[in-house]
Each structure stands twice: as structure tokens, then as C-alpha cells.
Amino acid sequence: MSLVDAAELADATWQDTEFVVALPDLSGALVVTTKGYSLLGGSQAFVERAVADGVDAARDLFRRQAKKGGAALRRIAAQYPRTHRSWKTAQEVDPGSAVADQLALMTALVAGEISPASFVRNWLDSRSRELATGERTHGLLYDALNRIFYFLEDYTADPSLREPGDPTDDDLLRAVREVLTLLDL
């Protein structure tokens, strides 16, 4: 949302507006219509603090509600897609994303291009980046990546620290290979 000065805001005509609440510096505002809809906008920091479950969750909720509200609301909802994609299959994943990095690391491990220790360190770094940047997976891809994550919780990359029954490098390779097969990679 670009900021407008107070005079512009005061002169604006708000069709079907019940009321408008704006911060004094106009870095954020809430418009409530007589039809029961609200629009929240402002600086990124304002919106992130105002929307507890995140911008994407709010946009998803609006999109679901807009389906019931007619063509005009659907057009508005279409102007505000998710800020972060959610992928169901490995083939949908955006190149350069943290999820794409996790998949590439899995492929590199199976191909013998990286060591298990390097795989673990880099895969967990990519997993952290996935969470920090708001990337999302669901369905089969979510299950597959979680399978690797939970495997790594029990795995120790340093063989000298392993106890009897702990997963080995071969077990890791087998688990990753199974997940790649599951994902058709």
C-alpha cells in the first residue's frame, strides 16, 4: 500500500464505508464497509503485526469468503495471491527455493556427490530456511520431507558417536532413495 497524505485521505470518498481507522502517520489503516467487509493495509511491519496468523492465512481466508461474495470480490481476491507458494509435488517447487535445495541435496546424496555429513548439515540448514521464509509444502511432499526430517533426528553423522541400533550412513541413503522414489525423482 502506498502511503497517502492526510489531505488525500480526508478527501477520499469511501463508498459503502462504515468507518476508517488510520494510524496518525498513515502507515496503516482499517476500512470497514457497511456490507461487513474489512480491508487492512499499510506498511509490511504494520500488516505483519496486525495479522496474527500471517498474511497468507488472511489472504486464504478472504479468498474462501470471496467465493461466496460474487464476482467483484473474487476479482479483488485474485489481485492478492499468496506471498509464499505451497507445493504439493516436487515438480511444482520453485527453483531456488529452500525446498528445491532440500530436493537437490537428496539427489546429490543418492548420486554420491556429497557425503552424509555434508547432506545432514546442508539439508537441515535448508529446512530452517524453508521455515524462516514461509515456504510451505502439503500432501505427499510434506509427508516425504518430514520423513527425512524425523529420520535425521535419530541419525548421527559421526560414526564414532553412534550407538548400537542407531541409523547408519547406508540407512540414511536408503531412506533418502525411498523418498525420492516416492516423489518420482
User: What pLDDT digit, counting tens, does each position of 16-70 carry?
Assistant: 666 788 888 888 888 777 776 677 788 878 877 888 777 777 787 888 888 887 7
Query: Does residue 122 or residue 9 have the better pLDDT?
Result: 122
Residue 54 is predicted with a pLDDT of 73
Cβ atoms of residues 43 and 49 within 8 Å: no
Residue 16: strand, helix, or coil: coil
Cβ atoms of residues 116 and 172 within 8 Å: yes
Percent of the residues in the chain that have a pLDDT greater than 90, as a whole number = 43
Residue 108 is predicted with a pLDDT of 98
Same domain, yes or no: 108 and 136: yes
Q: Of 27, 45, 78, which closes a domain? A: 78
Residue 12 is predicted with a pLDDT of 46
Residue 15 is predicted with a pLDDT of 56
161 confidence band (pLDDT: 50, 70, 90): very high
Q: Could you tell me if residue 13 is inside a domain?
A: yes
Mean pLDDT of 154-175: 93
Domain that holds residue 169: 86-182
Mean pLDDT of 158-165: 90
Same domain, yes or no: 62 and 39: yes
- What is the tens place of the pLDDT at every residue in 91-114? 999 899 999 999 999 999 999 999
Residue 16 is predicted with a pLDDT of 61
Q: Could you tell me if residue 1 is inside a domain?
A: no
Same domain, yes or no: 72 and 107: no
Q: Of 15, 44, 78, which closes a domain? A: 78
**How many domains in the chain?**
2
Backbone angles phi, psi at 29, to 5 degrees: -150, 155
Q: Cα dihedral sign for 171, 144, 148, 183?
A: positive
Same domain, yes or no: 109 and 72: no
Q: Which of 179, 135, 127 is nearest to 153 (CA)?
A: 127
Grid coordinates representing 179 are: 523418498
Q: Which of 155, 98, 92, 154 is nearest to 131 (CA)?
A: 98
CA dihedral 156, 162, 164, 168 (to 10 degrees): 50
Same domain, yes or no: 69 and 95: no
Same domain, yes or no: 126 and 56: no
- Residue 143's contacts (CB-CB under 8 Å, 6 or more residues apart) are none
Residue 173 is predicted with a pLDDT of 97
pLDDT at 10 over 60: no
Q: Of 73-77, 102-106, 125-129, which range is least confident?
A: 73-77
